[in-house]
Amino acid sequence: MKSESVAGMRRNSHGLEFFSIKVPNGPLTSRLQHLHAGDEVLVGRKPTGTLLLDNLRDGRNLFLLGTGTGLAPYLSLVKDPETYERFERVILVHGVRFTADLAYSDFLSRDLPNDELIGELASAQLTYYPTVTREPALHNGRISTLLESGKLHADLGLPGFDPAADRFMLCGSEAMIADLRKIFVARGLSEGATGEPGDFVIEKAFVEK
């Protein structure tokens, strides 16, 4: 079954925007999808989950790795000045099956670099790396394969996987997270949690089971 948790939310010029899968008869999304402009939604002020910068050790490169609607939490992180203060480079990797599934590609590649508040930082430090698995595209392949083979780092102009410099956030399918966790543990990286920062963190609430 798929997680009932909303993958993410961001504020835009029109209000609040939610990006999530729709779970049939789910207690949350079955109602959320029927909301209309002007409807009231109560939102807590305190962020929850594990995809928080405080749960990562200091590093140089921050990789935001997501599949499908696992992109959602990163839409807020790439608009947060603290993200660019903590890391020299921010790489958002979005893996999907088809090019048509690359939600927010225009926002990430065109709108965000021109944003009046964060555009200068995003233009200088953010790299958007979409990858597709089932049809030809600019980048092809599963995120785990691209990372393990070294192709991801090579495409980014980085010398290679560096445990001292690279930090990772993971949000998406159970298969992607399982594959990447195995790779990271094998390379000596530690998983971070609240109160115990590590080299990578996983949004467990989103994992599809």
| Residue where the block lists tokens 């980085």 | 158
- Given this model, what pLDDT does residue 32 score? 67
Per DSSP, 59 falls in state -
pLDDT digits (tens, 9 = 90+) for 4-28: 444 454 555 555 565 555 556 666 6
Q: Are 170 and 28 in contact (CB under 8 A)?
A: no
Q: Where are the domains of the chain?
A: 53-206
**What is the token pair recorded at 1?**
């079954």
Distance CA 190, CA 67 (A): 22
More confident residue, 16 or 117: 117
Name the residue with higher pLDDT: 208 or 189. 189
DSSP string for residues in 82-151: HHHHH-SEEEEEEEESSGGG-TTHHIIIIIGGG-TTTHHHHHHHEEEEEEESSS--SSBS-HHHHHHHSH
Q: Tell me the fold of 53-206.
A: Rossmann fold (3.40.50)
| Partner residues linked to 10 by β-bridges | 17
Alpha-carbon span 146 to 171, nearest angstrom: 16
Which residues share a beta bridge with 150?
none
Calpha distance 49→194 (Å, rounded): 9
- pTM for this structure? 0.84
Cα end-to-end distance, the chain, whole Å: 5
Digit-coded pLDDT (tens) for 78-112: 999 999 999 999 999 999 999 999 999 999 999 99
CA-wise closest residue to 18 among 90, 71, 56: 71
Distance of CA 152 to the CA centre of its chain: 16
Average pLDDT over residues 127-136: 98
